[in-house]
Structure 1
Amino acid sequence: MAVVNKSGEGSASEEFSASRGWFNCFKAHANLHNVKLQGEAASADSVAAESFPSGLNEIIREDGYTADQVFNVDETGLFWKRMPNHTHISKEERSAPGHKAGKERLTLLFGANASSDLKLKPLLVYLAENPRALKGIFKSQLPVIWKSNKKAWVTLMVFEDWFNDHFVPAVERYCASSLPF
């Protein structure tokens, strides 16, 4: 007499592992294909980008700057409630209906000198000046410099404030304490 397992029995000891071939067969069987849900076209001035490193190296060499005196800052955006921009849907459908990508974002600005001796306190720009999650917390105690604006962007005003009130004093303190003049 054959023993018949009930649905789900034995699955605790067996781990599911799908190969690429299994997934391709599943997509074909379920009539699915991959579509891009949203995308942005990014453009850059490639001519300026190619010529900039040599021009910067020339300025650094001519003026005798050290790696301790050369700083780089860059910003990155984080859409922390964003859905993936690719998904699998039925081949009959051209797009995912009713899908709207989340716009809840924050922007971070990081900076350090070329020798990595001084890492600047990051700047965080968020939509709300006083989010509920930070109720009762002093922003000066956070490990970031907190700024806010409607689109969570590093605008000219936000950047100038960060540059004058945070970057310049931090660099002046660093240079006075560790660089011989």
Structure 2
Amino acid sequence: MLTKRKRVSLSAKQKREICEMKEKDPTLQNVKASYFAEQFSIEDFHHSEGWLGGFKKRHGLRQFKKQGEAESAPSAESIERDRFALQQLLATYNPEDIWNGDETGLFWKMEPSRVLARNSLSGHKKEKSRVTIFCATNATGSEKMTL
């Protein structure tokens, strides 16, 4: 008979301790390794920086960026020109009347763009199912749109 293993979840105190550990030693792998050693009651735990690199080398694994759709970027000259024009336009308005808004999306079905593999992978069409949130506030921060 199979039994489900109990999942370990972090308490607020544990999350705070991890953040404090990150400030002392910013390497996330070290933080997670120390956390799991504590969770599994491993005393006198020592980890090395190179174990993951050695594992990848032994198994012929490298990190590849999955190829997706190409994007274009504006030139530096056009950015500077547009920035100056925007500053001139905004100078004619009261800061309380200047609003900025942006949308953000969670692509909840999209696969990671980087994978560990023995060979480079061919590109494929990405799943684009998403949830969109729009946030906006005025320039002084005195008014904000509700979500």
Compute the TM-score of the two structures, normalised by the length of structure 1: 0.49
Q: CA RMSD in A?
A: 2.9
Identity score, percent: 36
The number of aligned residues is 107
Structure exhibiting the larger radius of gyration computed from Cα positions: 1
Distance 1:18 1:101 in 2: 37
**Match 1:49 to one of 79, 83, 99:** 79
Q: Which has the higher contact order (CA 8 A, sep 6+)?
A: 2
The equivalent of 2:121 in structure 1 is: 95
2-structure distance, mates of 1:17, 1:88: 25
Give the partner amino acid of 2:52. Answer: F
Counterpart position of 2:58: 29
- C-alpha change, 1:27 and 1:104, in structure 2 (3 Å) is same
Amino acid in structure 2 at the alignment position of 1:114: A
Could you say if the C-alpha distance between residues 18 and 83 of structure 1 is closer, same or farther in structure 2, counting changes exceeding 3 Å? Answer: farther
User: Cα offset for 1:84?
Assistant: 1.1
- 1:86 and 1:18 map into 2 onto residues whose CA distance is 25
**Matched AA of 1:88:** L
Shift of 1:100: 6.4
Residue 69 (str. 1) matches residue 94 (str. 2): no
With structure 2 as the length reference, what TM-score do the two structures score? Answer: 0.58
Rounded to whole Å, the distance in 2 between the matches of 1:100 and 1:20 is 36
Question: Which ranges of structure 1 fall in alignment gaps of 5 or more residues?
Answer: 1-10, 122-143, 145-181
* C-alpha separation in 2, matches of 1:108 and 1:81: 17
- State which of 60, 69, 80 in structure 2 corresponds to 1:40: 69
